[in-house]
């Protein structure tokens, strides 16, 4: 692919229950935002999986001009080999200047491989995208556990970026929008070199951490598993969910699935409330991009206060009940 014929933005999407996943819809909004600086160019997307045609209609309503679809069994399409092949096929058809994909569990594996196969580089873990005056993709990505925001200019074409879920808000769907659906003939099953033996779905109570707009996380400062019930109560009032530091997980107070951080989940909620968490860089690597961070810590010099937008220096046992009383008042 040469630089001169590359145009537009291609989103390598994921399908969930016959619709583009939430992270894919966010990327479509990110793609549309970039196209404001690329007049006359198109937003395309590739959607491979079960009910790809249904998902395509939803993608068009979300702003896509051309959707490349590949109907395939969901188990096949959820394999990285298949999505790499689908992405490549769509990139051949669309010749994009920019390829975006969600930095989900699947995307983390698909996008580096896709970038390699396209002979280009990958910008990982992006939280914001823009174009410079030469129309080169520039991305913002947190480094050193979120302590620094690096701006990276992508010099190769196509520029491939893995974008953190929740970095963008999905646009409101407009079912009156027109777009083109281009079915691609590719036998995805033949691209998968591994055999899926069994799929085990862990039951998730309440909201998944990655999807939550509000997260209340607890750390070693809580002193045991029991106080996490209080955090659940607070999260419930705020329609959120509960996370934890690794110290709380290592102590066996909560399951590992609740861990936020470098070796846990990366989250980007609107509000992250850290209770009894010191703010170690490995923890902040997972939550440092939250839009608003609120800290409750009895040590006024705790590192978490350097990251927090709002903080209360005090014992959570006193602060939390008072905070919840106020909240109950407000919600009455
Ligand atoms: C390779 C590697 C990967 C790691 N990955 C992760 C990761 O993914 N996620 C993660 O979280 N950590 C991770 N860690 C561990 C990390 O370095 C910290 O040890 C951990 O985050 C500390 O957890 P904490 O803040 O709950 O505990 P602490 O550091 O012990 O902090 C507890 C805090 O609670 C406060 N406190 C105590 N009592 C009260 C009270 N009554 N009221 C209010 N505040 C109180 C204290 O002042 C203190 O600041 C990793 C470490 C390594 C080396």
CA distances from 320 to 10, 317, 325, 328 (A): 46, 6, 9, 12
Residue 232 has pLDDT above 60, yes or no: yes
Measured from CB, residues less than 6 Å from any atom of ligand 1 are 219-221, 245-248, 259-264, 276-278, 280, 282-283, 286, 296-299, 302, 315-317
CA of 221 relative to ligand 1 center, distance in Å: 8
**Contact assessment for residue 216 and residue 190, using Cβ atoms and an 8 Å cutoff:** no
Residue 51 has pLDDT above 50, yes or no: yes
Rounded to two decimals, the pTM is 0.79
Q: What would the mean pLDDT of 14-22 be, rounded to a whole number?
A: 95
Q: Mind listing the pLDDT tens digit for each residue in 89-103?
A: 999 999 999 999 999
CA of 236 relative to ligand 1 center, distance in Å: 24
For ligand 1, what atom is nearest to the CA of residue 279? 25
How much is the mean pLDDT over the chain? 94
142 — pLDDT class (breaks 50, 70, 90) = confident
Strand partners, 140: 128, 151
Phi and psi, residue 254, nearest 5°: -140, 160
Q: Determine the Cα–Cα distance for residues 111 and 83; give it in Å rounded to an integer.
A: 9
pLDDT of residue 207: 80
The full DSSP string for 126-159 is: ESEEEE-TT--EEEEEEETTTTEEEEEE--SSSE
Cα 209 to the center of its chain, rounded Å: 11
What domains does the chain contain, in order, with CATH numbers?
Answer: 9-191 (3.40.50.620), 209-331 (3.40.50.1220)
Q: Mind listing the pLDDT tens digit for each residue in 243-293?
A: 999 999 999 999 999 999 989 998 999 999 999 999 999 999 999 889 999
Query: Which residues does 302 contact at the CB level (< 8 Å), separation at least 6?
Result: 278, 279, 295
Pocket test for ligand 1, best of 230, 242, 246, 318 (most atoms within 8 A of CB): 246
Residue 1 has pLDDT above 50, yes or no: no
Q: Mind listing the pLDDT tens digit for each residue in 198-217?
A: 888 777 677 889 889 999 99
CA of 257 relative to ligand 1 center, distance in Å: 16
């Amino acid at each position: 692919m040469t630089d001169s014929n590359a145009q537009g933005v291609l989103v390598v999407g994921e399908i969930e229950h016959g619709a583009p996943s939430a992270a894919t819809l966010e990327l479509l909004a990110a793609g549309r935002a970039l196209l404001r600086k690329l007049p006359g160019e198109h937003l395309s997307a590739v959607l491979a999986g079960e009910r790809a045609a249904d998902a395509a209609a939803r993608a068009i309503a979300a702003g896509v001009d051309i959707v490349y679809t590949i109907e395939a069994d969901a188990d096949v399409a959820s394999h990285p080999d298949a999505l790499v092949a689908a992405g490549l096929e769509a990139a051949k058809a669309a010749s994009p200047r920019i390829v975006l994909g969600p930095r989900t569990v699947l995307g983390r594996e698909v996008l580096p491989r896709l970038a390699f196969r396209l002979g280009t580089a990958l910008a990982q873990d992006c939280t914001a995208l823009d174009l410079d005056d030469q129309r080169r993709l520039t991305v913002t990505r947190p480094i050193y556990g979120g302590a620094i925001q690096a701006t990276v200019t992508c010099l190769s074409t196509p520029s491939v970026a893995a974008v953190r879920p929740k970095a963008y808000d999905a646009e409101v769907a407009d079912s009156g929008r027109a777009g083109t659906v281009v079915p691609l003939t590719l036998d995805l099953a033949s691209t998968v070199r591994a055999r899926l033996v069994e799929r085990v779905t862990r039951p998730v109570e309440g909201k998944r951490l990655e999807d939550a707009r509000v997260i209340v996380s607890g750390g070693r400062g809580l002193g045991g598993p029991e106080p996490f019930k209080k955090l659940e109560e607070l999260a419930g009032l705020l329609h959120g969910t509960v996370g934890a530091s690794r110290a709380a997980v290592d102590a066996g107070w909560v399951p590992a699935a609740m861990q936020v951080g470098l070796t846990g989940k990366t989250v980007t909620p609107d509000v992250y409330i850290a209770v009894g968490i010191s703010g170690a860089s490995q923890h902040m690597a997972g939550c440092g991009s939250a839009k608003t961070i609120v800290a409750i810590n009895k040590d006024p010099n705790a590192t978490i206060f350097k990251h927090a937008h709002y903080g209360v220096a005090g014992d959570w046992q006193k602060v939390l009940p008072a905070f919840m009383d106020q909240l109950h008042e407000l919600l009455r």
